[in-house]
């Protein structure tokens, strides 16, 4: 029995999502994971765009038959929220986009996730949500028995020691659908969270982008250009020396957990207050004595992360 993780990415591409998806295809080519499918959700841009972008990114990776399933087109309760100011109107900056060859699967993402986990063995599927958690929350709410098959939910979202990037209190994915985030955290599934607290320590510096630009293939320079166009928002907003590489942190943590560090604690998401909607309350010092429900990641070996990203992109066309 292979000990490779069996990975499904739930995503709202999104330029950093593109990096995460390309990295996952590269990791599969390196024989390090079984990359099973992509499910898409509305987030950075509307669902139609996130879904077409996911298919285009699979074409870029040379995976023109990869299974892509479209999911929720809006949050559970909140009005739709998008981030074209960061990711551009298409969601992939000013990248030249083609009509995707990779087909869209006819089944909705949520029944696909339910059917897949119900057929899977115990603790056998790693879910990697890197957008709003609407699809994952619907899967867990409609079919709580699927928790049995979840090895880990390794997600990008939230913030606590770092200020939010949508409001002073909240990060985009959790602000977009706070109710979904709270459902996932209360589900009993094993959850590992890559918040802004750690992604802001994985910044896209010029030397790291040059390493991508120098790759003798199409995807290295393409990804460097994608990340360069998306990073200026965070540089201006946070005064970082480069844009944070948010979503690939989740994929990398699922595959190389030794590159990351954090603590197990109780995490809850604000769903009532207009002032702090989507904020994470992280009981880092276990003041409440509540049983931890998540691993909260705060540290990363950023050099090794970018080395693994470059090695995974290098194996692509």
CB of 213 to ligand RIB, least distance (A): 22
Which residue's CB is nearer to ligand RIB, number 33 or number 42? 42
Told to check if 262 binds ligand RIB by CB under 6 A, we report: no
- Of 6, 7, 9, 14, the residue at the interface with ligand RIB (CB under 6 A) is 14
Residue 68 interacts with Ca ion (CB under 5 A)?
Answer: no
**Interaction of residue 14 with Ca ion, rule CB under 5 A:** yes
Which segment (2-10, 116-124, 167-175, 254-262) binds ligand RIB by CB under 6 A? 167-175
Taking CB under 6 A as the criterion, which residues in 171-230 touch ligand RIB? 171-173
Q: Name which of Ca ion, ligand RIB, none residue 234 binds, using a CB cut-off of 5 to 8 Å depending on partner kind.
A: none
Q: Is 134 in the site for ligand RIB (CB under 6 A)?
A: no
Any catalytic annotation for residue 98?
no
User: Which one of the spans 6-14, 225-233, 269-277, 278-286 is the region binding Ca ion (CB under 5 A)?
Assistant: 6-14
State the number of binding residues for Ca ion (CB under 5 A).
6
Using CB under 6 A as the binding rule, the residues of this chain from 239 to 258 that contact ligand RIB are 246-247
Kindly state whether residue 130 participates in binding Ca ion, applying the rule CB under 5 A: yes
Q: How far is the CB of 6 from ligand RIB (least distance, A)?
A: 22
Name the catalytic one among 25, 179, 246, 264: 246
Whole-angstrom distance, CA of residue 193 vs CA of residue 280: 11
Q: Distance between CA atoms of 151 and 149, rounded to whole angstroms?
A: 6
Please, which residues have CB within 8 angstroms of residue 145's CB and are 6 or more apart in sequence? Answer: 118
DSSP string covering the chain: ---SEEEEEEE---HHHHHHHHHHHHHHHTTSEEEEEEEE-SSSS-HHHHHHHHHHHHHHTT-TT--EEE--SS-SSSPP---HHHH-SSSSTT-------SPPPSS-HHHHHHHHHHHSPTT-EEEEE-S-SHHHHHHHHH-GGGGGGEEEEEEE---SSS--SSSSS--HHHHH-HHHHHHHHTS---EEEE-HHHHTTSEE-HHHHHHHHTSSSSHHHHHHHHHHHHHHHHHHHH--SSEE-HHHHHHHHHH-GGGEEEEEEEEEE--S-TTTTT-EEEETT-SS-PPP-EEEEEEE-HHHHHHHHHHHHHT--
Among 17, 52, 197, 270, binds ligand RIB (CB under 6 A): 17
**Per-residue interface string for the shown chain with ligand RIB, residues 33-72, x marking contact by CB under 6 A:** ----------xx----------------------------
Given the rule CB under 6 A, which residues bind ligand RIB? 12, 14, 16-17, 43-44, 130-131, 156, 165, 171-173, 246-247
Please list the active-site residues.
246
The residues binding Ca ion (CB under 5 A) are: 12, 14, 17, 130-131, 247
């Amino acid at each position: 029995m292979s000990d490779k993780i069996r990975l499904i990415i739930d995503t709202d591409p999104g330029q950093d999502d593109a990096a995460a998806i390309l990295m996952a295809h590269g990791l599969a080519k390196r024989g390090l994971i079984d990359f099973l499918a992509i499910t898409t959700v509305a987030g950075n841009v509307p669902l139609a765009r996130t879904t077409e972008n996911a298919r285009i990114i699979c074409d870029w990776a040379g995976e023109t038959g990869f299974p892509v399933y479209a999911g929720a087109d809006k949050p559970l309760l909140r009005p739709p929220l998008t981030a074209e100011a960061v990711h551009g109107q298409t969601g992939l900056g000013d990248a030249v986009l083609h009509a995707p060859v990779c087909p869209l699967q006819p089944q909705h993402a949520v029944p696909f996730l339910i059917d897949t986990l119900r057929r899977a063995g115990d603790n056998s599927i790693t879910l990697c949500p890197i957008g709003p958690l609407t699809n994952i929350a619907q899967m867990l709410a409609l079919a709580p028995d699927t928790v049995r098959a979840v090895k880990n939910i390794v997600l990008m979202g939230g913030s606590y020691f770092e200020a939010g990037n949508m409001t002073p209190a909240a990060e985009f994915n959790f602000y977009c659908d706070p109710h979904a985030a709270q459902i996932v955290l209360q589900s009993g599934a094993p959850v590992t969270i890559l918040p802004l607290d750690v992604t802001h320590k994985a910044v896209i510096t010029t030397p790291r982008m040059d390493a991508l630009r120098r790759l003798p293939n199409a995807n290295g320079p393409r990804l460097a250009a994608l990340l360069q166009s998306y990073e200026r928002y965070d540089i201006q907003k946070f005064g970082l020396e480069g844009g944070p590489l948010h979503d690939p942190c989740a994929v990398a943590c699922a595959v190389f957990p030794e590159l990351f560090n954090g603590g197990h604690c109780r995490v809850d998401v604000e769903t009532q207050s207009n002032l702090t909607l989507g904020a994470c309350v992280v009981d880092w010092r276990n003041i409440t004595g509540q049983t931890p429900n998540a691993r909260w990641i705060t540290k990363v070996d950023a050099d090794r992360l970018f080395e693994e990203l470059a090695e995974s992109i290098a194996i692509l066309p």
